[in-house]
Amino acid sequence: MEIRELQAKAAQIRMDLLQMIFRAKTGHTGGSLSNTDIITALYYRIMNIDPAQPKAADRDRFILSKGHSVESLWAVLADKGFFEKEQLATFSQFGTKLIGHPNNKVPGIEMNTGALGHGLAVAVGMALAAKRDGVRYRTFCLMGDGEQAEGSVWEAAMAGAHYKLDNLIAIIDRNRLQISGSTEEVMGLDPLEDKWRAFGWNVMVIDGNDMQALIESLEAVPSVPGKPTLVMANTVKGKGVSFAENVPHWHHHVPNETELEQALTELSAVFEFYQTEGQGR
């Protein structure tokens, strides 16, 4: 997809995930909205994946370490054809496979996540396996910024650099808000990029809600041979919904009917704008 098409797709995914959360009366709204551009860029432009062969040996791997923000991922996997889109209506309902965190019973999910701090360690293992087996797949791991307070993240970071895993790309959804408030008030992280550089990683700092910046950075990796890459994606929690942006309450707020209608109106306008621009009209 071209940039304009990706921007339109991201607006569509945001609409889908909001309707999922509204129907289910549960979900992590703010973080799913902030990471939508990242996941859209990966699945529609960057990663080597095939919904018809979800277990292909040479597929790129993706781990959503911030597993609570799964709604955007479910919407993308359905849209890509990993499962029928009608299943989105069962999100968080009794007996569904589409639970509130990634579930590897669903095609396209590499591992169950949700216990923060575990995703990067598994991603290191996948990337190391690729190196040792001589397979040319890449492993992408999306983390939250609040997750950076977990010690296991830094153990994994040290291992990734030690084994020179330049086929490993970690991304931080740096929206600066977590469930109990600002990340810098809860557990100060800055200067976060300097810490990752000190652990031996190639660090790229970008606007994580800028599709052009996302594509340019992700298409450039691995940009430093012998080093894993960390993409610090500065994002806005609640991105795309004006009254939810940068509002801590929207971490897991479920929109009411009025809020949903207003949000869908805003996102529909964005979708139509980029779709029209993408068609050259």
Burial (CB count <10 Å: 0-12, 13-18, 19+), residue 96: middle
Token pair, residue 111, equals 């591992």
Q: Please tell me the least confidently modeled range out of 118-122, 144-148, 178-182, 197-201.
A: 178-182
pLDDT confidence of residue 214: 98
Q: Mean per-residue pLDDT for 200-209? A: 98
pLDDT confidence of residue 281: 46
Phi, psi for residue 216 in degrees, rounded to 5: -60, -40
Residue 180 has pLDDT above 90, yes or no: no
CATH of the domain at 91: 3.40.50.970
Q: Mean per-residue pLDDT for 30-43? A: 98
Residues 6+ apart with CB under 8 A from 269: none
pLDDT confidence of residue 37: 98
pLDDT confidence of residue 276: 85
Report whether 112 contacts 64 (CB < 8 A): no
Phi, psi for residue 229 in degrees, rounded to 5: -110, 135
Closest by Cα among 104, 97, 98 to 17: 98
pLDDT confidence of residue 223: 83
Query: Which residues span the domain enclosing 160?
Result: 3-278
Q: Mean per-residue pLDDT for 81-102? A: 97
> Looking at the 3D structure of the chain, how many domains does it have?
1
pLDDT confidence of residue 222: 86
Token pair, residue 98, equals 């589409």
Q: By percentage, how much of the chain surpasses pLDDT 70? A: 99
CA distances from 222 to 84, 111, 164, 263 (A): 34, 24, 11, 37
Residue 13 has pLDDT above 90, yes or no: yes
